[in-house]
Amino acid sequence: MTAAAPASDAVRMRGISKSFGGVQALRGVDLTVRPGSVHALLGENGAGKSTILKILCGVQPPDCGAVAIFGERMSEFTPEAARRLGVAMIFQEMSLIPTLTVAQNIFLTREPRTGRFLDDRAARAQARALLAQLGVDIDPATPVSRLSTGQKQMTEIAKAVSQNARVLIMDEPTSALSTAEVDHLFAFVDRIRRGGMAVLYVSHKMDEIRRIADTVTVLRDGTHVLTRPIADITLEQIIEAIVGRRINAFAHRARVVDRSGPPLLELRGLSGQDKPREVSLQLHRGEILGIAGLLGAGRSELARAILGIDPPVSGSILLHGRRVPCGVPRAAIGAGIALIPEDRRTQGLILEQSVFANLTLPTIDRLSRRGFVDDARASAQAQDLIARLRIKVASPSLAVKTLSGGNQQKVVLAKWLAADPDVLVLDEPTAGVDIGSKGEIVELVRAAADSGKGVIVMSSELAELLSLSDRILVMSGGRVVRAIDRIEIDEWSPPDTDPVDRISLAERGLQHAIQESQRDG
């Protein structure tokens, strides 16, 4: 019988192994989380993070190994047993019921009662106090269906915190939050950490990990690679531990862009129903243009307006000097513009269809003869894209929903690269993607620009924008309010500075520029 863990450990997992149908997801993994700490759990998709979290939450039992929470052995692996021990989890895929109010979702199955009756007034009051702790202004009586994505995420966080947890697991909690909401969340995390709660934090965003975590643990291929204090490890060492090799994609690579000739793409006073507002810009061949701004600044709306998904109310789009019909996606695609959308699962892929079908969809006419798809040509194209973009899939016939997030994103990018557009518009191209796939996607974007394509990148990840962009435009309130060239960016991070410090200094400089532009806007 395994001895109980010392009470000083909030979480103690020893020798955890788990397999699924002959696939070994975890191999003898150890994990220790201290009270009053934020412990980052990192790894590529498929590294074993989700499996170990499900075991800790009681969703799945381990094949072997032991788990203890604050010294108490977990003998039963059910969600109820984990909750009794004080484990709560904020899931990446939100579990809210749209037709219920915020307060009803937060206290679902644990509703305050007066006698035998539910006390909605008490639920709303408790929910209001909890949301105030998070620094969030949401009416607890509001149905969840009326909330923004960011507000839904904060409601999910409040729901987990309301369970009197001693161990809080946060799986990509900031994926839909604005900068201000992230600041509120991190301030709250700091408060509960100082109060003795243990936080197990999962994120692909390295800037968040450096900002919030005390300790980092890396898993790779189901095995434990390292556990180190965050102060004792560099960003490069973390990335190398995650991927198993050095990746240099995140350092900016100086590029030469010829802007002496006419622009490849030009927007003139483009305005939508609400956003964008009178946006004018020029994009040249081989250029990567970054678009920065806070959540709600109008980045995604601009991307959708360029492709014509949301018809502009005024302004014009010119490609090669010729006007592109506004509000007609087919015309934009036919002219040579492609969009990699923000939400790959609902906007970029047909999840139930195969990888093969998704990869060939935009070029189906080109792959057909006399109304019939040439299977040999289509198969050759799909196999070429899978090999060229290193998409990890056992067979092209598998449904695309079975792939990891990074490989799904590669499918979206690959299908449009096959269409050979002149302009690529990428909205959050690495959202929810592990660090290894991020590096590969960054290199693919650079290669597209090197081949002469014009690229526009909208991203909330400042490190991504800084590593990719030849210029950066800052948006606020739907307008372009500032243009930043590489000379200004390089002044933020002098070349004789340590590489890790250069990244931090550049991010700080861009963040300041965005906030300053927000005030001016």
- Does residue 19 carry a pLDDT above 60? yes
- Does residue 355 carry a pLDDT above 60? yes
What is the secondary structure of 2-25 as a DSSP string? PPPPPTT-SEEEEEEEEEETTEEE
Q: Tell me, what's the pLDDT at 236?
A: 79
Task: Give the Cα separation of 55 and 49 in Å (integer).
Answer: 10
Task: Give the Cα separation of 10 and 379 in Å (integer).
Answer: 52
What is the secondary structure of 435-475 as a DSSP string? HHHHHHHHHHHHHHHHTT-EEEEE-S-HHHHHHH-SEEEEE
- Encode pLDDT of 382-430 as tens digits: 999 999 998 989 899 999 998 888 889 999 999 999 999 999 999 999 8
- Does residue 521 carry a pLDDT above 60? no
Answer whether 138's CB lies under 8 Å from 181's CB: no
Q: Considering 243, 273, 296, which residue would you say is the last residue of a domain?
A: 243
The sheet carrying 23-33 orders its strands as 23-33, 11-20, 64-69, 72-73
Residues 213 and 322 in one domain: no
Helix (H, G, I), strand (E, B) or coil at 252: coil
User: 3: which residues sit within 8 A by CB, 6+ positions away?
Assistant: none
User: 140: which residues sit within 8 A by CB, 6+ positions away?
Assistant: 101, 102, 103, 106, 123, 124, 127, 128, 131
Mean pLDDT of 156-184: 83
pLDDT band (50, 70, 90) for residue 323: very high
- Does residue 1 carry a pLDDT above 50? no
Q: Does the residue 354 lie in any domain?
A: no
Helix (H, G, I), strand (E, B) or coil at 427: strand
pLDDT band (50, 70, 90) for residue 339: very high
- The boundaries of the domain holding residue 90 are 11-243
Q: Does the residue 468 lie in any domain?
A: yes
- Encode pLDDT of 226-238 as tens digits: 999 999 998 878 8
- Does residue 6 carry a pLDDT above 60? no
Residues 170 and 280 in one domain: no
Work out the mean pLDDT of the chain and round it to a whole number. 89
Q: Does the residue 513 lie in any domain?
A: yes
Q: Tell me, what's the pLDDT at 418?
A: 94
Residues 99 and 161 in one domain: yes
**β-strand 198-202 against 38-42: which pairing, if any?**
parallel
The sheet carrying 167-171 orders its strands as 87-90, 167-171, 198-202, 38-42, 215-220, 223-229
Assign residue 294 a region: left if phi > 0, alpha if psi is -120 to 50, beta otherwise? beta
Q: Does the residue 386 lie in any domain?
A: no
Distances in Å between the alpha carbon of 39 and those of 185, 210, 229, 402, 420? 16, 11, 9, 29, 44
Q: Tell me, what's the pLDDT at 310?
A: 93
Mean pLDDT of 114-138: 90
Residues 301 and 163 in one domain: no
Task: Give the Cα separation of 165 and 81 in Å (integer).
Answer: 13
Residues 460 and 326 in one domain: yes
- In the chain, the number of structural domains is 2
Residues 150 and 77 in one domain: yes
Q: Tell me, what's the pLDDT at 58?
A: 94
Residues 210 and 329 in one domain: no
- Encode pLDDT of 35-85 as tens digits: 999 999 999 877 899 899 999 999 999 999 999 999 999 999 999 999 999
Q: Considering 198, 213, 243, which residue would you say is the last residue of a domain?
A: 243
Single-letter amino acid code for the residue at 31: L
Residues 148 and 178 in one domain: yes
Which residues, listed in sequence order, are joined to residue 19 by a DSSP beta bridge? 24
Q: Which of 299-303, 337-341, 356-360, 510-514 has the lowest mean pLDDT?
A: 510-514
Q: Tell me, what's the pLDDT at 506?
A: 79
What is the secondary structure of 41-64 as a DSSP string? EE--TTSSHHHHHHHHTTSS--SE
Sign of CA dihedral 70, 72, 78, 83: negative
- Does residue 4 carry a pLDDT above 50? no
Single-letter amino acid code for the residue at 314: S
- Does residue 150 carry a pLDDT above 80? no
Only one residue has tokens 């020798």, namely: 15
- The secondary element (H helix, E strand) that includes residue 33 is strand 23-33
- Domain containing residue 287: CATH number: 3.40.50.300
Phi, psi (degrees; rounded to nearest 5) at 197? -75, 145
Q: Does the residue 377 lie in any domain?
A: no
Residues in the chain: 521
Distances in Å between the alpha carbon of 445 and those of 289, 393, 407, 423? 11, 21, 15, 11
Mean pLDDT of 261-273: 96
- The secondary element (H helix, E strand) that includes residue 333 is helix 329-335
Q: Tell me, what's the pLDDT at 261?
A: 92
pLDDT band (50, 70, 90) for residue 270: very high
Axis-axis angle for helices 405-418, 375-388 (nearest 10): 130
Q: Which of 147-161, 211-225, 254-268, 325-339 has the lowest mean pLDDT?
A: 147-161
- Encode pLDDT of 201-231 as tens digits: 998 888 789 889 999 999 999 999 999 999 9
Structure tokens at 73: 């052995």
Q: Considering 243, 277, 295, which residue would you say is the last residue of a domain?
A: 243
Helix (H, G, I), strand (E, B) or coil at 66: strand
Residues 79 and 111 in one domain: yes
Residues 228 and 142 in one domain: yes
Residues 221 and 297 in one domain: no
Best CA proximity match to 60, nearest among 95, 18, 102? 18
Task: Give the Cα separation of 204 and 43 in Å (integer).
Answer: 8
Q: Does the residue 390 lie in any domain?
A: no
Single-letter amino acid code for the residue at 81: A
Best CA proximity match to 334, nearest among 348, 324, 323, 322? 324
Q: Does the residue 304 lie in any domain?
A: yes
Residues 430 and 493 in one domain: yes
Single-letter amino acid code for the residue at 1: M
Q: Tell me, what's the pLDDT at 496?
A: 67
Q: Does the residue 137 lie in any domain?
A: yes
Mean pLDDT of 155-174: 87
